[in-house]
Amino acid sequence: MSFLLDTHVILWFLEGNHNLSLKARISIENLNYTKFISMASIWEIAIKLNLTKLRMEIGLDQLKAEILQNGFELLPLRFEHFLELSKLEDIHKDPFDRILISQALCENLRLISGDKNFSQYKSLDFLW
């Protein structure tokens, strides 16, 4: 099974934050599963750090090493993801969430997120 992690899930996992659901933590820690981090999440983190809307114990320059050390794979943005985005229902307005949903649908990934709005996308397989 393969998963795509929402931005807050990545941060909570790396921080050991207890807001992460038990199901999510177990799935992330399972070495038999492939876990992806979208470059859109890295972009979102960089923007929020720059706007001081986010604080991290590690710097952005160390984030890639942390991601790889934890066995995550980076998922680039591809043209096909934007084609999927162009067909996506207009339920959720957040552009970063919308591209993550599009990537999950396009790549047949289960999206790990605590965002309850994701349940409105009937074709999206997500876990929390």
Domain range for 103 is 2-127
CB distance 60 to 45 below 8 Å: yes
Look at the pTM and tell me if it is higher than 0.95: no
CB distance 45 to 51 below 8 Å: no
| 106: Cα within 13 Å, side-chain hemisphere | 21
Instruction: Say which CATH number the domain at 34 has.
Output: 3.40.50.1010
Report the percentage of the chain scoring pLDDT > 70.
100
The residues pairing with 74 across neighbouring beta strands, listed in sequence order, are 37
- The model's pLDDT over 19-64, given as tens digits with 9 standing for 90+, comes to 999 999 999 999 999 999 999 999 999 999 989 898 888 888 899 9
- The count of structural domains within the chain is 1
- The model's pLDDT over 71-108, given as tens digits with 9 standing for 90+, comes to 999 999 999 999 999 999 988 889 999 999 999 999 99
Q: What is the pLDDT of residue 58?
A: 84
Confidence bin at 14 (pLDDT 50/70/90): very high
Looking at residue 116, its amino acid is K
Burial 53-81 (b: 16+ CB within 10 A, else e): ebeeeeeeeebeeebeeeebeebeeeeeb
Nearest CA to 56 among 99, 98, 22, 8?
8
